[in-house]
Amino acid sequence: TEFKGAFEATVEKFGNLDIVINSAGIFNEIEWERMIKTNINGTIHGCLLALDYLQRYRRAIEGVIINISSIMGLQTAGHTPFYNTTKHAIVGLGRSLGLHGHYESTAVKVITICPGCTATPLLLENMEERFSKKQIEMHTEVMKKFQLQSANNVARELTAIIKHGQSGSVWLIENDEPAYQVETP
């Protein structure tokens, strides 16, 4: 597959692989079946490939998988039920693969980040192709309550999370502020 090819090319070029940023995601409530397939199955597939390659090709003592979810993996919005579902699944996947016993057998940390509203094309462009007219109206109203953050803030915070985050942890990054770990039951 194309995804596996990216792992192979990375190992061929650099000789090792220590960190995988696993971001398989689209935001399309009209094509919800494709979104579920991409967001959930793509993330699972990425984790399986990452676990395989990180165990075989890492130089560091431990490998790291960062799964990208969303603030909508921690809360909900009525106009995006299918997207919310996919992002909740990613949080659950990261928490499950990040359990202590799994880490002990693989030496791979699995951490989930949940960015808040971030100024990216995924959030801001081609709305009419991805949502019904009513969903666009609702989205416009909901977005008035949120502060957009820069993608640079997410990247900056991600660096610290990779270094200090524990396996199975979930982190929220929003409003251009420092990331913080979300306590889950």
pLDDT along the chain (185 residues), means of 10: 92 97 90 96 98 97 97 89 96 98 97 89 69 78 78 93 97 95 88
pLDDT, position 123:
62
Can you give the residue ranges of every domain in the chain?
A: 2-173
pTM above 0.85, yes or no: yes
**Cβ(3)–Cβ(22) below 8 Å:** no
pLDDT, position 7:
97
pLDDT, position 136:
73
| 180 flagged as catalytic | no
pLDDT, position 124:
63
CA distances from 181 to 50, 101, 113, 123, 132 (A): 23, 21, 9, 23, 34
pLDDT, position 58:
96
Catalytic residue among 53, 83, 103, 180: 83
CA distances from 143 to 115, 147, 160 (A): 14, 8, 28
Q: What is the dihedral of CA 94, 14, 151, 30, to 10 degrees?
A: -60
CATH T-level fold of 2-173 = Rossmann fold (3.40.50)
pLDDT, position 150:
86
